[in-house]
Amino acid sequence: MKYDVVVVGSGPAGSVTARFAAESGAKVLIIERRQEVGVPVLCGEGVSRKIDEWNMLEGKRWIAGSMDGARIYSPDGTMVKLSADMAGNETGYVVYRDIFDQELARQAVKAGAKIMMNTTSTDLLKDNDKIKGVRAKQFDEEFEIEADIVVGADGVESKVGQWGGIETRLEPKDLETCAQYTLTNVECKDAYCDFYLGKEIAPGGYAWVFPKGKDVANVGIGVLASLSESGMAKKLLDKFIANNPRLKNGEPIRFLAGAAPVASPVETVRDNLLLVGDAARHVDPITGGGLTCCLEGGKIAGETIGMAIEIQQFDQETLSVYEKNWKEAFGKKLKRNYLVKEILLDFDDKTFNMLADSLKDYKFEELSTLSLIKALVLKHPTLLMKLRPLVKISSETKE
């Protein structure tokens, strides 16, 4: 089997990369370990409405609900509200990730990509260190797939990068370990995504409630792996639900474990190799959200691949157009938010309460981590000392 491009993983990053590569004329194969694209769902399913601008998903079946805003609760319950009227209606959706992923895969196939399910990549195929494709396994059959370009879209546990000599292993302090129930019989009286902070609630992370309907919500938790103990995320989530009057009578219709990288991005390009999405650590280190980067970065990757196929050059220098362009699109934001994450980790509950109190009546210009950071810097010049490295970055950053 010989293709121009083999994409390992059919998550959003893989499908979007495949689509744009295929649209620019490349012969693309996606291989996916699972037996159904997007299943099981390992996600909180919240995404910014920014994705509308890119117009990559047709129809509305992937939307569970449109959100009017977000509320952040400090450890003592002080609420900071970021709402649609303050944020110019630019908020977001809660989606059905299985349908979302399948719609992106459908678009990739429509553009000409092929998908092979139940197929695991076990290694890179190399000829004297030169990457020539991947080794794959489908049930008991092992075979080789040749390709000029291999795309690692294999998610948080990515191996493709490591096989190609890119260090992608995460430090425990750069991973959120997560658990989530989808609960029914809970009260979702408005379309707000709620975030709960506090060392007792979620050390180094947060708990969330994202409504999926009038009585259904994703209720989850992320704990920083360096502060975690065996089974801690699930235990703290159960406690959070039991202590929350709105949630405690909920009944689960789904339970999942998850892992979200909150790291600095890695190098994403080698000769004949590219990394996208979680595999590239393209995730907002403050929120753990990765979907917008998957779509934006996947498009850039696919277009770069199209250009490389056209000129038949697959070396690192040619492919580094991808690296340059994703850095321009969201690289600075990830870098800045990584610094902010490190600073926030030093804050104790009292500081969070104080910060929330000072922002509780604040009018935010938009619903983004940037507008939150700006507000903090504005309100707390004393904290500026600590925040100084990021103020410089944030003044250069457009979101």
Partner 1 sequence: MGKPKAKVDKKICLACGGCISVCPQDALLMCGGRAYVHEENCISCAICIRTCPVGAISGEAY
Ligand X SMILES: Cc1cc2nc3c(=O)[nH]c(=O)nc-3n(C[C@H](O)[C@H](O)[C@H](O)COP(=O)(O)OP(=O)(O)OC[C@H]3O[C@@H](n4cnc5c(N)ncnc54)[C@H](O)[C@@H]3O)c2cc1C
Which residues lie near ligand X (CB under 6 A)? 8-14, 31-34, 42-47, 120-121, 153-155, 159, 178, 180, 220, 258-260, 277-279, 283, 288-291, 294
Q: How far is the CB of 310 from ligand X (least distance, A)?
A: 25
Residue 3: count of CB within 10 angstroms of its CB: 20
What is the helix (H) or strand (E) element at residue 175, kind and residue range?
Answer: strand 175-184
Q: Which residues lie below 8 Å from residue 352, measured CB to CB, with a gap of 6+?
A: 74, 75, 197, 198
Q: List contacts with partner 1 (CB under 8 A).
A: 33, 40, 42, 155-159, 162, 168-172, 175, 177-179, 223, 225, 228-234, 255-259, 261
Residue 116: count of CB within 10 angstroms of its CB: 15
Which partner, partner 1, ligand X, none, binds residue 175 by CB below 5 to 8 Å per kind?
Answer: partner 1
Angstrom CA distances, 3 to 31, 56, 134, 146, 189, stand at 12, 24, 11, 6, 51
Q: How far is the CB of 118 from partner 1 (least distance, A)?
A: 11
DSSP string of 12-48?
Answer: HHHHHHHHHHHHTT--EEEE-SSSSTT-S--S--EEE
* β partners of residue 220: 180, 208
Q: How far is the CB of 45 from ligand X (least distance, A)?
A: 5
Q: How far is the CB of 157 from ligand X (least distance, A)?
A: 6
Q: What is the DSSP letter of 330?
A: I
Which partner, ligand X, partner 1, none, binds residue 152 by CB below 5 to 8 Å per kind?
Answer: none
User: Rounded to an integer, what distance in angstroms lies between the CA atom of residue 178 and that of residue 317?
Assistant: 37
Cβ atoms of 23 and 306 within 8 Å: the answer is: yes
User: Rounded to an integer, what distance in angstroms lies between the CA atom of residue 349 and that of residue 370?
Assistant: 22
Which partner, ligand X, partner 1, none, binds residue 46 by CB below 5 to 8 Å per kind?
Answer: ligand X
Q: Which residues lie below 8 Å from residue 162, measured CB to CB, with a gap of 6+?
A: 168, 169
Q: Which of 292, 316, 392 is nearest to 129 (CA)?
A: 316
Closer by beta carbon to ligand X, 9 or else 65: 9
Closer by beta carbon to partner 1, 6 or else 156: 156
Q: How far is the CB of 163 from ligand X (least distance, A)?
A: 10
Cβ atoms of 294 and 302 within 8 Å: the answer is: no
Closer by beta carbon to ligand X, 305 or else 387: 305
Closer by beta carbon to ligand X, 166 or else 283: 283
Q: Which of 280, 390, 368, 358 is nearest to 325 (CA)?
A: 280
Q: How far is the CB of 175 from partner 1 (least distance, A)?
A: 6
Closer by beta carbon to ligand X, 257 or else 384: 257
Residue whose Cβ sits closest to ligand X: 290
Which partner, ligand X, partner 1, none, binds residue 171 by CB below 5 to 8 Å per kind?
Answer: partner 1
Closer by beta carbon to partner 1, 163 or else 314: 163
Which partner, partner 1, ligand X, none, binds residue 252 by CB below 5 to 8 Å per kind?
Answer: none
Closer by beta carbon to partner 1, 255 or else 347: 255
Which partner, partner 1, ligand X, none, binds residue 234 by CB below 5 to 8 Å per kind?
Answer: partner 1
Which partner, partner 1, ligand X, none, binds residue 255 by CB below 5 to 8 Å per kind?
Answer: partner 1
Which partner, partner 1, ligand X, none, binds residue 69 by CB below 5 to 8 Å per kind?
Answer: none
Q: How far is the CB of 262 from ligand X (least distance, A)?
A: 10
Closer by beta carbon to partner 1, 159 or else 335: 159
User: Rounded to an integer, what distance in angstroms lies between the CA atom of residue 64 and that of residue 47?
Assistant: 11
For residue 208, the SS3 value is: strand
